[in-house]
């Protein structure tokens, strides 16, 4: 027994004496010119030619000065002066983009080109091309451009699998920060599946500490194999500069957008299953007998929807989609979006403690009622609002729940309009006006043509009923 103890202590002592040498060997300094020359230069040199600067411009009229509208000024310089044509000035926005096809298909962020009427790209070798906008999707904050006359093949980046990324993987961010010219920064993947960022409706972001600054939007996040794994989109910053927290849209979502553009779509058709979901909190997890919060809880099912036809039920806990865990409704929507319309997804559902596999068809949201969009211009509390008939398609566009109800919803509000001044907002469902139920845009238009002494409105805002009164 004593001999065995002595042998154990001797072995432990020898291990302790050997450990520092092992650690030193792991952290050894470079011992040759080859090891000292290791760098990311080959990856950067291969990827950089496919990353472009994007310039979007539009012409806007100069704001008329108060002096031009002053009666005293007009008395001396002529009454026709205010009617003279206004000069136009050019507004420019600057960002980055990535060539993903040698024919000249370019991916960028929607917010880079959203207001532009003319779009131009400049390559790393200073070649310039005019571009057409094939697709732009505000929900996803992605857009696809097409070079008008590429004059041969252009350098393109292969699109990788963003699901293969792991926290700690090395990545390069390539773009044009602050308009100073193409820049490459290096960092690691800091986090995956960021869904509480507040950037787009389908939130599932790669977080990186590679320096991303204004002007990098639309640029490439590249792995060490030189593959595009994300489109740099936003930074977390209190002062406008990079604080080491940047966000990129995963390449698997980019693939969906590229495919939609190749099929001729002007926006991305996203799947709809007709289920309302909510995240599982600690309290809900405790009620369900779970050891930790996980999955998403089904809180509503639209009649005759794919979820209804598949047998999904209120109270079901969806744990994963095609074997990949989901922890938030936004993550769930992302998983469906990357599967694409026309396919099926298998949901792992915890129902009363038993796990079932439920296949659900991924269909486009139907416009069960023609939207009949109308701009309200009659003097009323709704003046300046654009309204549409509610349907699954309209509800998905606005991020609303849909459970088969008829109604009219506000889709847009003009700035400084009466509707904006009283606090109406896109997504508000108009339930009733002066006691009369509103079920169509035609009914609302007729009601606003009246001029009552008093207006009483009933609205549904995210499930909360608001009752407003105005003279």
187 - beta bridge partners? 171
Cα 131 to chain centroid, rounded: 23
State phi, psi for 147 to the nearest 5 degrees.
-65, 130
Where is mean pLDDT largest: 91-95, 283-287, 307-311?
Answer: 307-311
CA dist., res. 285 & res. 288, Å (int):
5
DSSP string covering 41-101: HHHHHHHGGGEEEEEEEEEEEPPPPGGGG-HHHHHHH-TTGGGSPPPEEEEEEEEEEEEEE
**Residues with catalytic function:** 111, 141, 217
> Quick check: 327 pLDDT over 70?
yes
- Average of per-residue pLDDT values in the chain: 82
Long-range CB pairs of 110-114 (<8 Å, 24+ gap) are 110/136, 110/137, 110/138, 110/140, 110/141, 110/142, 110/143, 111/141, 111/217, 112/54, 112/56, 112/143, 112/217, 112/218, 113/54, 113/56, 113/143, 113/145, 114/56, 114/138, 114/143
* pLDDT at 13 (0 to 100): 41
- pLDDT band for position 73 (50/70/90)? very low
Predicted confidence (pLDDT) at residue 85 exceeds the cutoff of 80: no
Please state the pTM of the whole predicted model.
0.76
Query: Which contacts qualify for 325-328: CB closer than 8 Å, 24 or more apart?
Result: 325/294, 325/295, 326/295, 326/296, 327/193, 327/195, 327/279, 327/280, 327/293, 327/294, 327/295, 327/296, 328/195, 328/196, 328/279, 328/296
Both structure tokens of 109: 């962020």
107 burial type by CB count under 10 A (0-12 exposed, 13-18 middle, 19+ buried) = buried
Confidence class of residue 16 from pLDDT cuts 50, 70 and 90? Answer: very low
Q: What is the CA radius of gyration of the chain?
A: 28
Q: Tokens for 30?
A: 């470079």
Banded model confidence at residue 94, pLDDT cuts 50, 70, 90: confident
Q: In the chain, what are the domains?
A: 46-147 (2.40.10.10), 162-262 (2.40.10.10), 275-361 (2.30.42.10), 374-470 (2.30.42.10)
H/E stretch holding 310? helix 306-310
The answer to whether the beta carbons of residues 137 and 267 sit under 8 Å apart is yes
| pLDDT value for 266 | 81
């Amino acid at each position: 027994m004593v001999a065995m103890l002595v042998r154990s202590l001797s072995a432990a002592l020898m291990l302790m004496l050997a450990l520092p040498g092992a650690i030193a060997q792991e952290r050894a300094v470079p011992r040759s010119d080859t090891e000292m020359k290791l760098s990311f230069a080959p990856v950067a040199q291969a990827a950089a030619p496919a990353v472009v600067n994007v310039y979007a411009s539009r012409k806007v009229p100069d704001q008329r000065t108060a002096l031009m509208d002053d009666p005293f000024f007009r008395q001396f310089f002529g009454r026709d002066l205010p009617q003279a044509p206004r000069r136009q000035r050019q507004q420019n926005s600057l960002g980055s983009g990535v060539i993903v096809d040698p024919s000249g298909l370019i991916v960028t962020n929607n917010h880079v080109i959203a207001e532009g009427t003319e779009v131009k790209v400049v390559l790393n070798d200073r070649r310039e091309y005019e571009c057409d906008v094939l697709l732009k999707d505000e929900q996803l904050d992605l857009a696809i451009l097409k070079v008008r006359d590429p004059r041969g093949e252009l350098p393109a980046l292969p699109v990788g699998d963003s699901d293969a990324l792991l926290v700690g993987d090395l990545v390069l961010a390539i773009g044009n920060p602050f308009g100073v010219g193409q820049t490459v920064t290096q960092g690691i993947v800091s986090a995956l599946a960021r869904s509480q960022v507040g950037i787009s409706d389908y939130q599932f972001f790669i977080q990186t500490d590679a320096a991303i600054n204004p002007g990098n939007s639309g640029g490439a996040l590249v792995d060490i194999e030189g593959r595009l794994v994300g489109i740099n989109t936003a930074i977390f910053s209190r002062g406008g500069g990079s604080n080491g927290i940047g966000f990129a849209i995963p390449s698997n979502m980019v693939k969906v957008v590229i495919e939609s553009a190749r099929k001729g779509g002007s926006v991305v058709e996203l799947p709809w299953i007709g289920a309302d979901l909510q995240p599982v909190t600690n309290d809900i997890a405790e009620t369900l007998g779970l050891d930790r919060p996980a999955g998403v809880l089904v809180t509503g099912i639209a009649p005759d929807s794919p979820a209804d036809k598949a047998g999904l039920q209120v109270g079901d806990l969806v744990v994963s989609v095609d074997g990949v865990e989901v922890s938030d409704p936004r993550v769930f929507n992302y998983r469906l979006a990357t599967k694409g319309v026309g396919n099926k997804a298998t949901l792992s559902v915890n129902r009363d403690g038993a796990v079932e596999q439920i296949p659900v068809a991924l269909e486009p949201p139907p416009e069960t009622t023609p939207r009949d969009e109308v701009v309200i211009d009659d003097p009323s509390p709704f003046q300046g609002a654009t309204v549409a008939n509610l349907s699954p398609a309209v509800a998905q566009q606005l991020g609303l729940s849909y459970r088969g109800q008829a109604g009219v919803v506000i889709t847009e509000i003009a700035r400084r309009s009466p509707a904006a001044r009283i606090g109406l907002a896109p997504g508000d469902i108009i339930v009733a006006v002066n006691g009369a139920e509103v079920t169509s845009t035609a009914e609302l238009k007729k009601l606003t043509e009246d001029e009552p002494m008093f207006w009483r409105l009933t609205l549904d805002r995210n499930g909360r009923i608001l009752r407003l009164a105005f003279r």
